[in-house]
Amino acid sequence: MMAELERSYEKYFRQNRLPHLWCPGCGNGIVMKAIVQAIEKKGLTQDNTVIVSGIGCSSRASGYMDFDTIHTAHGRAIPFATGIKLARPELNVVVITGDGDCTAIGGNHFIHGCRRNVDLTVVLFNNNIYGMTGGQASPMTPMGGKATTAPYGSVDRTFDACALAEAAGATYVARSTAFHVQHLTDMIAKGFDNKGFSFIEAMVQCPTAFGRRNKFKSPADMLKWMRDHSVMKAAWDKLEDVKKGEAIGQGKFPIGLLYESSGSELDYDAAYDQVIERAGGAGK
């Protein structure tokens, strides 16, 4: 029975597209599996769920997932997903994106998706670097972190994508890591419950492009780093500001549900329905 449960997720993958092309030890598969487990947990189906991805290592996931999927242009997953949601509001639309895809090339689409509160669930695989294109620094490379474009350490400050999402208007914001698989699955599943823009940052190890340049000996070392530097939100909130500042200085970060709106904001589709009503019901 346990084995059956454990393997029940396999139906969500295109077996003929496997094995995947991710490097040994890459964490992308962990996050991809957490997404399908969250889908299963919430009783969503392969017929009513669409997966939309951008470009990059993580965005390859859409090719492996047996749903209606679209692998779009670099940074453009959110606009494609917005179009799908407006045309077919009954569908669950999931966006898979990476830190470069979402916060650099697609940065404007990201903030405007949040601002519009489009009813999407966006999972950002944060591997802290451009993996597929050769290890260039992304907006989420830690300050001081090494990349091919920053061989002596990046001098750019790092985007906090969760803070950015909240400030831009997302109505559900959470963070977890590839180390905390069950927690990550729960954060994604809760995101499906939100009628509006749900953003989940999933920290994920990239041993090839980030780890080996930044003194991580192995993928397991990277997972241990996530374990040792993450702080559950409830404990984070109890820290005084000074202690919080010290924790941030040590590379620590909160995980969990970081923000959830009271539910008073209309999602984009509902707002458009009102426009249609004002216009006399044409077009829908």
According to DSSP, the residues that pair with 256 across neighbouring strands are: 175
Considering the complex, state which of residue 57 and residue 150 has its C-beta at the smaller distance from ligand SF4.
Answer: 57
Cβ of residue 21: shortest distance to ligand SF4, in angstroms? Answer: 7
Asked if 149 contacts 156 with a C-beta cutoff of 8 angstroms, the reply is no
209 binds ligand SF4 (CB under 6 A): yes
Q: Which stretch binds ligand SF4 (CB under 6 A): 4-12, 202-210, 243-251, 260-268?
A: 202-210
Instruction: Choose between 28 and 194: whose C-beta lies nearer to ligand SF4.
Output: 28
Binding to ligand SF4 (CB under 6 A): which residues in 137-196?
Answer: none
- Residue 208 interacts with ligand SF4 (CB under 6 A)? yes
Question: Binding to ligand SF4 by residue 214, rule CB under 6 A?
Answer: no
CA–CA distance, 114 with 196 (Å, rounded to integer) = 9
Q: Which of 144, 173, 131 is nearest to 27 (CA)?
A: 131
* Residues 56-85 as x/- pattern, contact with ligand SF4 by CB under 6 A: -x----------------------------
Residue 280: CB minimum distance to ligand SF4, A:
50
Residues touching ligand SF4, count (CB under 6 A): 12
Q: Does 28 bind ligand SF4 (CB under 6 A)?
A: yes
Contacts of 104 (CB under 8 A, 6+ apart): 75, 138, 139
If the CB atoms of residues 191 and 207 are measured against ligand SF4, the closer one turns out to be: 207
Determine, following the binding rule CB under 6 A, whether residue 206 of this chain makes contact with ligand SF4: yes
Q: Look at the block and give the residue holding tokens 């707002």.
A: 271
- Two structure tokens written together for 250: 């040590």
Side chain identity, residue 240: E
Q: Which is nearer to ligand SF4, 132 or 173 (CB)?
A: 132
Residue whose CB is less far from ligand SF4, 177 or 198: 177
User: Between residues 127 and 198, which has the closer beta carbon with respect to ligand SF4?
Assistant: 127
- Nearest-angstrom CA–CA distance, 141 and 54: 19
Q: Alpha carbon of 163 to those of 83, 174, 175, 200, 201: distances in Å?
A: 25, 10, 11, 11, 11
Interface pick for ligand SF4 out of 12, 13, 26, 78 (rule CB under 6 A) = 26
Quick one: which of 54, 79, 100, 131 contacts ligand SF4 (CB under 6 A)? 131
For residue 152 the two structure tokens come to 């002596």
Q: Which is nearer to ligand SF4, 67 or 130 (CB)?
A: 130
32 binds ligand SF4 (CB under 6 A): no
State in angstroms the smallest separation of the CB of 124 from ligand SF4: 13
Residues within the interface to ligand SF4 (CB under 6 A)? 22-23, 26, 28, 57, 127, 131-132, 206-209
